[in-house]
A and B are shown apart, each in its own frame.
Chain A
Amino acid sequence: MNTEINEHKIFKVSRRDFLKTTSMSMSGLLLGLQFSCTDKEKNLTGNPSAVFSPNVYININGNGDVFLIAHRSEMGTGIRTSLPLVMADELEADWSRVKVVQAVGDEKYGDQNTDGSYSLRMFYTPLRKAGATVRLMLEQAAAKEWNVDVSECKAQNHEVVHTSGKAFGFGYLAEKAAALPVPEESMIALKDAKDFKYITKQSSIVDLKDIVTGKAKFGLDSKLPNTKIAVIKRNPEAGAGLKSFAMEAAMKIPGVIKVFSMDAPGFPTNFNKPLGGVVVVAENTWAALKGREALEVEWLPGINADYNSLEYGNDMLKRAKTKGKVRRSSGNIDQALRKAKKIVEADYVVPHLAHAPMETPCALAHFHDNTCEVWAPVQDPQGTRKSLAAALNIDITAVTVNVTLLGGAFGRKSKPDFVVEAALISKEINAPVKIMWTREDDIQHGFYHFPSAQHVKVGIDENNNVSAWLHRSVFPSIGGTADPAAKEPSGGELSLGMIDLPYAIENISCETQQAKTKIRIGWLRSVSNIQHAFAVGCTLDEVAQARGVDPVQNILDMLGADRMIDASVLGPEFENYGEKLEDFPWNTGRLRNVIETVREKSNWGKSLPKGSGQGIAVHRSFLTYVACVVEVSVDENSKIKIIKVDYAVDCGVPVNPERITSQFEGGAAFAASLALKSEITVVKSAVQQSNFHNYQVARMADAPYETAVHIIDSAEKPTGVGEPPVPPFIPALCNAIFAATGKRVRKLPINLKEEVNL
């Protein structure tokens, strides 16, 4: 994950560049908003062919239509709405007259890699500045027209109004503003928060009506004239090659056009290389699938042919119990554990998991005349563009990546392997082609969440305080998917919930063991926070029990006095989600605040019937502070019902509160899948699950019945909300199950009927 911040200069692009971008994207995603303002008398509109676009994100024409670029990918977070809203607010544009245009993949937009929950964190201020710049230029243009000082002119709801009351519309001013130089950044004044019209206010997503009428276009809906459909039969072992194949039977299927092989990358596969296999191209999906079924294929074994995830997990668990490589330490852990009056000790196991977005990977590609254009649901359009240029051996400027709506992604669609497949096939058959991944392909050939084993041992001293914290985490690194030398988790992976531990404990040791990556591993919504928050959050509950203290009070006790955690405490391997600690401190006061908020809002400690219970867990991830209380009931058949979830969230300025709420509601359901249902197992390097009947996810009755989201009214810099809902939910649920049943959960997915000795 690259979360480095680029310098965001407000720069002037050539008109041609912008129009090119605009028109290309218009073929993809456009909003059906009404534009009707041609009131010449009030000087609302101007030269209809005028275009005012002082930066790459904003364009105003002579009719007063405002086009705002959405340069990040929409996979359900609402970012395609939230960032344009931020610009519109500073610009004083009337939202009903704004058209959102999805950007193609191009470096000129700055970072477009939509993952790591950093879109708002990175772009909130630059896009406010972009909007404020345009606002100032419109005011300057009006001042010039009226021959008055600019301080007498104020942009307001799509017009610039003079103190005397006269006004010009944005459309009228567009051409005139375009003639002005872009003002220095020092002249730009951002709005005062009290003047916000859209930021922090309720709004709805721009695609809402298109979605409920079936008009919204996702990747799988892309089509060009004469588009063929391709499916690929892939080696069950990631990266391994093909021995032989027979295509006669496949070619007999009506509609099948061509069958050919695609090279396998070997292992490690890298993140952007197709897995290779046997490609079947047909006139339609049905023919392609039948053709694939008729193939006879023999595979070659690769270097991971013996990979068995259960054995691998048992081995990790064994090694988690022995001293590992120290990644963060303070005090003397051995001595402190020896001296402890009480010990809390447990192991935690999490399996491989798959993303399973509702829209499987897919892409439409058209390679011709040494150029390539694709339409695809990708999280990282620039990375996709680079991967395509490299795979096709053409210049990057000959590649156009149009970003469709993403039917869910959760990290899967940040890897462009499937888009490269489409492009290579298009080149081979000399026609536009759409690659189609069935659900079976998706479940069996993904980039899985790492399986993990953890060992936690906590010492409580004679004063009933926690004096020692030993945490060992073993899992194969994501890096191993590209680099054979990556044999142990990276500092970045451990900073997601392990070495960023905030608790004021004198003796700490965080350790890891080696674990070689044997299958494609990728980041899944909240990444290693999933297993780390599970282990840490459940352990804290056991510590509360051992100390004889209320679980909420226990967390507050352990957190200690409000402070900004010093980098030296966290150690040299700590990474702060790509940000400097000076800019985004680890502020334990903000965590305390969400804990106290959720305690109150959830009515913590209320009396509940037998078989019901509440549990709490708290977690800072992606620089957002979250506390979560889950209420469950467990019946005599061990059936778990999630009755209520309360989240308290401090994500800085809550830019789009409605979408923050929806991300937390959805995040709880996503986490409920991981906690209760989902598991990928691998035998002889082949994934055993294939579709939703055996890779189960939460359905309506499994998901929380109600999720209440309490957003802290914060003035801190905004941070993301896509991933932060997931980590604390799972331990909060497990702790609630303990409160309801007295049973501790240490292995996912939760199975209360199974005897687990961890």
Chain B
Amino acid sequence: MASITLKINNKNHTVEADPKMPLLWAIRELVGLTGTKYGCGVAQCGACTIHMNGLPVRSCSIPVSTAVNKEITTIEGLSENNSHPVQQAWIQEQVPQCGYCQSGQIMAATALLKRNANPSDKDIDAAMQGHICRCGTYPRIRKAIKAAAQIMSQKASTK
């Protein structure tokens, strides 16, 4: 057991945890942010995706100790009021069915758009290949990513 401080969504949380505990369980059970989901525990499904220093990572497969001194963003930290362009696009395209995988999908899409403002179908396939949606919302995820890219570029041009 160790005392570990995590900076999540710009807020510090100190938790008592086994340093080897996967970050996912620390976020969900010790910090209490349940938007990040468990789907496989072995980096296969993407449901647990968060951002660490801006990059998408599988929180089920990294120990909590490696998250110290890193900037962590979870789905709850994306915006206060679903105003993030990716969330906007997800609402516009009505992507979710059961919704369970969508936090991870949104976090992955956000990270993709950050490094690639105008992703092609191939780019989208590559970035989203690790994210399972058992409900099969894939075509709408693709559409929403393209819609989000547009919203972002409009925002950028009006700035």
Instruction: Check B124 for interface membership: any CB of A closer than 8 A.
Output: yes
Consensus secondary structure, chain A interface: loop
Give Cα A691 to B132, complex, Å. Answer: 12
User: Could you say which of A204, A214, A439 contacts B94, with CB atoms under 8 Å apart?
Assistant: A204
Q: Which of A216-224, A310-318, A337-345, A545-553 contacts B (4 or more CB under 8 A)?
A: A216-224
Give Cα A705 to B87, complex, Å. Answer: 22
Give Cα A121 to B138, complex, Å. Answer: 28
Cβ contact within 8 Å between A668 and B136: yes
User: Could you say which of A213, A254, A358, A669 contacts B45, with CB atoms under 8 Å apart?
Assistant: A358
Cβ contact within 8 Å between B34 and A208: no
Instruction: Check B68 for interface membership: any CB of A closer than 8 A.
Output: no
For chain A, the count of residues having a C-beta within 8 Å of the partner chain is 65
Cβ contact within 8 Å between B44 and A693: yes
Q: In the complex, what's the smallest C-beta–C-beta distance from B86 to chain A, in angstroms?
A: 8
Cβ contact within 8 Å between A408 and B140: no
Give Cα A366 to B34, complex, Å. Answer: 20
Cβ contact within 8 Å between A285 and B25: yes
Residues on A with beta carbons closer than 8 Å to the beta carbon of B99: 76, 207, 211, 216, 218, 405, 407
Cβ contact within 8 Å between A221 and B34: yes
Q: Assess A215 versus B35: contact at CB under 8 Å? Given A358-B45, A662-B137, A665-B136.
A: yes
User: Could you say which of B33, B94, B102, B135 contacts A658, with CB atoms under 8 Å apart?
Assistant: B94
Cβ contact within 8 Å between B128 and A700: yes
Q: Assess A286 versus B21: contact at CB under 8 Å? Given A662-B97, A662-B137.
A: yes
Instruction: Check A591 for interface membership: any CB of B closer than 8 A.
Output: no
Cβ contact within 8 Å between B37 and A287: no
Cβ contact within 8 Å between A208 and B96: yes
Q: Assess A700 versus B124: contact at CB under 8 Å? Given A665-B136, A665-B140.
A: yes
Instruction: Check B117 for interface membership: any CB of A closer than 8 A.
Output: no
Residues on B with beta carbons closer than 8 Å to the beta carbon of A438: 41
Q: In the complex, what's the smallest C-beta–C-beta distance from B67 to chain A, in angstroms?
A: 14
User: Could you say which of A211, A287, A439, A700 contacts B18, with CB atoms under 8 Å apart?
Assistant: A287
User: Could you say which of A204, A229, A287, A357 contacts B134, with CB atoms under 8 Å apart?
Assistant: A357
Q: Assess A662 versus B140: contact at CB under 8 Å? Given A213-B82, A406-B98.
A: yes
Instruction: Check A698 for interface membership: any CB of B closer than 8 A.
Output: yes
Residues on B with beta carbons closer than 8 Å to the beta carbon of A101: none
Cβ contact within 8 Å between A209 and B82: yes
Instruction: Check B133 for interface membership: any CB of A closer than 8 A.
Output: yes
Instruction: Check A735 for interface membership: any CB of B closer than 8 A.
Output: no
User: Could you say which of B34, B42, B90, B134 contacts A693, with CB atoms under 8 Å apart?
Assistant: B42
Cβ contact within 8 Å between A213 and B78: yes
Instruction: Check A332 for interface membership: any CB of B closer than 8 A.
Output: no
Instruction: Check A149 for interface membership: any CB of B closer than 8 A.
Output: no
Cβ contact within 8 Å between A204 and B98: no
Q: Assess A254 versus B37: contact at CB under 8 Å? Given A665-B136, A700-B128.
A: no
Cβ contact within 8 Å between A667 and B35: no
Scan residues 85-111 of chain B and give those whose CB is less than 8 A from a CB of chain A: 87, 90-91, 94-103, 106
Give Cα A357 to B87, complex, Å. Answer: 23
Cβ contact within 8 Å between A703 and B134: no
Q: In the complex, what's the smallest C-beta–C-beta distance from A451 to chain B, in angstroms?
A: 21
Give Cα A74 to B128, complex, Å. Answer: 26
Cβ contact within 8 Å between B106 and A76: no
Residues on A with beta carbons closer than 8 Å to the beta carbon of B97: 76-78, 408, 662-663, 666
Bits for B112-147, please: 1 = Cβ < 8 Å to A, else 0: 000000000100110011111111111111100000
Q: Assess A703 versus B139: contact at CB under 8 Å? Given A214-B36, A284-B30, A692-B132.
A: yes
Scan residues 530-576 of chain A and give those whose CB is less than 8 A from a CB of chain B: none
Give Cα A77 to B101, complex, Å. Answer: 15
Give Cα A404 to B129, complex, Å. Answer: 29
B83 closest partner in A (C-beta): A213
Cβ contact within 8 Å between A669 and B22: no
Bits for B23-54, please: 1 = Cβ < 8 Å to A, else 0: 00100011011111111111011010000000
Q: In the complex, what's the smallest C-beta–C-beta distance from B13 to chain A, in angstroms?
A: 15
Q: In the complex, what's the smallest C-beta–C-beta distance from A413 to chain B, in angstroms?
A: 11
Instruction: Check A701 for interface membership: any CB of B closer than 8 A.
Output: yes
Q: In the complex, what's the smallest C-beta–C-beta distance from B31 to chain A, in angstroms?
A: 12
Cβ contact within 8 Å between A212 and B90: yes
Instruction: Check B1 for interface membership: any CB of A closer than 8 A.
Output: yes
User: Could you say which of B35, B82, B134, B142 contacts A700, with CB atoms under 8 Å apart?
Assistant: B142
Instruction: Check A363 for interface membership: any CB of B closer than 8 A.
Output: no
Give Cα A205 to B140, complex, Å. Answer: 15
Cβ contact within 8 Å between A439 and B42: yes
Could you say which of B17, B22, B136 has the most chain A C-beta atoms within 10 Å of its C-beta?
B136
Q: In the complex, what's the smallest C-beta–C-beta distance from B27 to chain A, in angstroms?
A: 11
Instruction: Check B75 for interface membership: any CB of A closer than 8 A.
Output: yes
Give Cα A342 to B76, complex, Å. Answer: 64
Residues on B with beta carbons closer than 8 Å to the beta carbon of A373: none
Residues on B with beta carbons closer than 8 Å to the beta carbon of A670: 134-136
Bits for A693-713, please: 1 = Cβ < 8 Å to B, else 0: 100011111011111000000
User: Could you say which of B44, B91, B140 contacts A204, with CB atoms under 8 Å apart?
Assistant: B91
User: Could you say which of B1, B22, B39 contacts A439, with CB atoms under 8 Å apart?
Assistant: B39
Cβ contact within 8 Å between A213 and B98: no
Instruction: Check B74 for interface membership: any CB of A closer than 8 A.
Output: yes
Cβ contact within 8 Å between B25 and A701: no
User: Could you say which of B34, B38, B47, B102 contacts A212, with CB atoms under 8 Å apart?
Assistant: B102
Cβ contact within 8 Å between B38 and A220: yes
Give Cα A696 to B6, complex, Å. Answer: 34
Instruction: Check A596 for interface membership: any CB of B closer than 8 A.
Output: no
Could you say which of B1, B22, B139 has the most chain A C-beta atoms within 10 Å of its C-beta?
B139
Could you say which of B21, B121, B124 has the most chain A C-beta atoms within 10 Å of its C-beta?
B21
Cβ contact within 8 Å between A692 and B37: no
Give Cα A221 to B95, complex, Å. Answer: 21
Q: In the complex, what's the smallest C-beta–C-beta distance from A296 to chain B, in angstroms?
A: 21
Give Cα A527 to B42, complex, Å. Answer: 29
Residues on B with beta carbons closer than 8 Å to the beta carbon of A698: 136, 138
Q: In the complex, what's the smallest C-beta–C-beta distance from A711 to chain B, in angstroms?
A: 16
Residues on B with beta carbons closer than 8 Å to the beta carbon of A356: 134
Q: In the complex, what's the smallest C-beta–C-beta distance from B95 to chain A, in angstroms?
A: 8
Cβ contact within 8 Å between B139 and A691: no
User: Could you say which of B37, B90, B132, B139 contacts A220, with CB atoms under 8 Å apart?
Assistant: B37
Could you say which of B21, B25, B94 has the most chain A C-beta atoms within 10 Å of its C-beta?
B94
Residues on A with beta carbons closer than 8 Å to the beta carbon of B36: 214
Give Cα A669 to B132, complex, Å. Answer: 11
Cβ contact within 8 Å between A665 and B134: no
Cβ contact within 8 Å between B139 and A707: yes
Cβ contact within 8 Å between A358 and B134: yes
Scan residues 364-422 of chain A and give those whose CB is less than 8 A from a CB of chain B: 405-410
Q: Please name 16 further chain A to chain B contacts, defined as beta carbons within 8 Å, in addition to the given A213-B79, A669-B133, A672-B136, sorted by A numbering.
A: A77-B97, A204-B94, A208-B96, A212-B106, A213-B35, A220-B37, A284-B25, A286-B17, A286-B20, A359-B39, A438-B41, A666-B97, A700-B125, A701-B129, A704-B139, A706-B139
Can you list 11 A-B pairs with a CB-CB distance of less than 8 A?
A212-B91, A254-B18, A286-B20, A358-B132, A408-B100, A438-B41, A666-B136, A667-B136, A669-B138, A691-B41, A699-B132
List 10 A-B pairs, minimum CB-CB distance, nearest first: A214-B35, A669-B136, A407-B100, A76-B98, A214-B75, A76-B97, A666-B136, A211-B99, A692-B44, A221-B34
Query: Which residues of B does A touch, CB under 8 Å?
Result: 1, 17-18, 20-22, 25, 29-30, 32-42, 44-45, 47, 74-76, 78-79, 81-82, 87, 90-91, 94-103, 106, 121, 124-125, 128-142
